[in-house]
Amino acid sequence: MDWAWTRKVPKWVWIVGGVLVVTGAVHLLFPEEMARIRRENQERAAAQQEAREQKKAEKEAKRAADKAEREQREQQAEAEHRATVTRTGQYGWLATPSGVNPILVAATKDDLDRYTKIAMAHDQLGGNQMLAAGALFPVTPGTRVLVTDHTFTATEVRVQDGPYKGRSAWVPFEYVRSSPPSGP
C-alpha cells in the first residue's frame, strides 16, 4: 500500500482526526464518565438558561413597576393641574404645594417677580425687607380668593376673607386651588 498520499494532507486535518479518534476512544473506554460530564454540562446549561430567564423576568417586573410609578406621577400631576384655578372670575383657595404657612403674596406682579428671584437666591433679608415695605403680605393657607387676572406663571387674586379682605395680590398660578386645602 502506498502511503505517499498522507504527505499531501494538511497537518490540521491530521490533528482534527487525531482529536476525534481520541475523543471516540474516551467515549468508548469511559462511557459512565462521559455520561456524567454530559449530564453536568446539561445541568449547567439549564441553570444558565434559568438565570437568564429570571434576570429577564426581573427586568420586566422593574420596567412594569417603573411604568406604573410614572403613570401614577402623571395622574397626580394631572389631578394637581386640574385642581388649580386659572379662569378670571372663579373663586378659589390659596395653598402652596409644600404646605408653607403663612403664604407670602405680592402686592404687584413686579413684586412677585422680584420675590421669586429673592426666594431662589435664599435671600432671607431681601424677603424681610419686601415684607416690611408692604410689597409682600402674609395670608393663611385656605384663604378664599377671587381670580381677577392671570398670566402664564402668575395669578392676580382679590382676598375674600381674613385681615386682608378686599386687597389685591399676585401669587404663582399653582397656589390657587379649586377646592379648599385639606388638613390642619
* Distance (Å, whole) CA 155 – CA 172: 6
pTM of the model as a whole: 0.56
CA distances from 60 to 33, 46, 52, 56 (A): 40, 21, 12, 6
Please give the Cα distance from 179 to 169 (Å, whole number).
Answer: 19
Query: What pLDDT is stored for residue 156 in this prediction?
Result: 95
Mean pLDDT of the chain: 86
What is the pLDDT at residue 29? 66
Per-residue pLDDT tens over the stretch 164-182: 999 999 999 889 988 887 7
Res 86 pLDDT > 90 = no
Q: What is the pLDDT of residue 75?
A: 83
* Residue among 158, 109, 100, 160 at smallest CA distance from 136: 109
Q: What CA–CA distance (Å, rounded) separates 136 from 129? A: 9
In tens, the pLDDT along 22-60 reads 676 666 667 777 788 889 999 999 999 999 999 999 999
What residues have CB less than 8 Å from 68, skipping those under 6 apart? none
Residues in the chain, overall count? 184
Task: Note the pLDDT of residue 87.
Answer: 81
- The pLDDT of residue 126 is 94
